[in-house]
Amino acid sequence: MASSPYFSLAVLFVVALGFGLAPLGLAWVWQRVFSPAKPNAIKNAIYECGLESRGDAWVQFRSAYYLYAIIFLIFDVEAIFLLPFAVAFTGLGAAACVSMLVFVLLLIEGLAWAWAKGVLTWA
Amino acid sequence: MAESLFGANRQMAVDENLKIELGKQGVFVTTIQELYNWGRRSSIWPMQFGLACCAIEMIATTMARYDLARFGSEVFRPSPRQADLMIISGTVTKKMAPQVVRLYNQMAEPRYVIAMGACAISGGPFKQGYNVLKGIDRYIPVDVHIPGCPPRPEALIQAFMTLQKKIDGQHLTGEERPRHLDEQAPGEFPVPEFGEHDLDPPSNPGTWTVPKIIQ
């Protein structure tokens, strides 16, 4: 068995397992011997900055909000690319300006689509 | 059984002079109790929690000039579940007291409390105020009181060192063992409620006795 090329891997695996489990076991033994558990209602309550928590923690959000995230992305990407474009504007040729115009038009197309779909009206 | 096994009792531990002699020869002798207390006192994690102007001094203590990290306490936890120490840094109003007591209850044992500044220990300059709690020790057991308005960072560091000394002296077993190792000791401290004129109850009789006025 020791001649197997995977023997050292098996040894390492056992050591790694022990490394993880030994502290857990020691903590369990320590708790059993010395430290008694004293749970109570206040201690087990949901933690919420000292105030008593109200309602359910499992609040659901409308999945339709993803549209706002996407529209935000339009302006986000636009701002990132427009700033260096504006800085270097005086040194740019006609080709650069046209390609930038195409880029902005593509983004505006997305916005126009969202507008036409009525996403921008708050329901 | 545990006493003989872990050398937790003071009588069972190695003689102090013998320990020093062995230390000179390069032999390190310790007990489980000493290791346990050393580990605990070297990593007291305070709760990230400030009440009033004393909190500014507490923040200053953690910064580079005073550097609380030297004492292993730089990790301020934003959750009571992970904190060992509550620093009552400032005036405790009666509106805030239930929240403070609830947070103390939600901390895991062993837990300690430092009452920082005149307000936290007695109400301080606002003692006559109708809405000010006259010291947080009316509801929860306080380990170290620091006077001052506000106490300087050095005073807070002194309180930390005092607390570390206290932790160092705690026994694992026996009659004097601290609350978290004692099954009979209470683990719950009742949270006061807003009464008609005052907090209800006005103090926790388990941790605080109303002083008698002798005329």
Per residue in B27-38, pLDDT (tens digit) is 888 888 888 899
Q: Which domains does chain B have, with CATH numbers?
A: 44-167 (3.40.50.12280)
What pLDDT is recorded for position A123?
A: 67
With a cut of 90, say whether residue A118 has pLDDT above it.
Answer: no
Stated as kind and residue range, the H or E segment containing B89 is strand B85-89
**Residue B114: what pLDDT?**
95
The residue of chain B nearest to residue A32, with distances taken between CA atoms, is B181
Q: Is the dihedral of CA A63, A67, A70, A75 positive or negative?
A: negative
Q: Residue B112 forms beta bridges with which residues?
A: B85
- The pLDDT value recorded for residue B13 is 60
d(CA A103, CA B11): 82
Yes or no: say if B200 and B193 are a contact pair by the CB < 8 Å rule. Answer: yes
* Residues of B in Cβ contact (< 8 Å) with A33: 2, 6
Counting Cα atoms < 13 Å in the Cβ hemisphere of A20 gives 5
Predicted local distance difference test score (pLDDT) of residue B132? 93
d(CA A51, CA A85): 51
pLDDT of residue A50: 84
Q: What is the pLDDT of residues B110-166, one digit of tens each?
A: 899 999 999 999 999 999 999 999 999 999 999 999 999 999 999 999 999 999 999
Residues of B in contact with A48 (CB under 8 A): none
Phi, psi of A45, rounded to the nearest 5 degrees: -65, 160
Question: Average pLDDT of chain A?
Answer: 87
Q: How far is CA B4 from the centre of its chain?
A: 29
pLDDT digits (tens, 9 = 90+) for B64-105: 999 999 998 989 999 999 999 999 999 999 999 999 999 999
Per-residue pLDDT reduced to its tens digit, A43-66: 888 887 888 888 777 888 888 788
Q: Do B188 and A43 touch (CB under 8 A)?
A: yes
Domain boundaries, chain A: 63-117
Supply the pLDDT for residue B2: 46
Question: B210 and B203 in contact (C-beta within 8 Å)?
Answer: yes
Q: What is the rounded CA–CA span in Å between residue B60 and residue A106?
A: 52
- Give contacts of A 50-109 with B, CB under 8 A: 50-52
Partner B contacted by A36 (CB < 8 A): yes
The pTM assigned to this predicted structure is: 0.74
Interface probe, candidates A30, A32, A38, A46, chain B, greatest B C-beta count within 10 A:
A38
**What per-residue confidence (pLDDT) applies to A36?**
84
Q: Quick one: three-class SS letters along chain A?
A: CCCCCCHHHHHHHHHHHHHHHHHHHHHHHHHHHCCCCCCCHHHHCCCCCCCCCCCCCCCCCCHHHHHHHHHHHHHHHHHHHHHHHHHCHHHCCHHHHHHHHHHHHHHHHHHHHHHHHCCCCCC
- pLDDT tens for A72-108 read 888 898 889 889 989 988 888 899 989 999 999 998 9
Q: Which of A36, A38, A43 sits opposite B106 (nearest CB)?
A: A43
Is residue B113 classed as helix, strand or coil in its secondary structure? strand
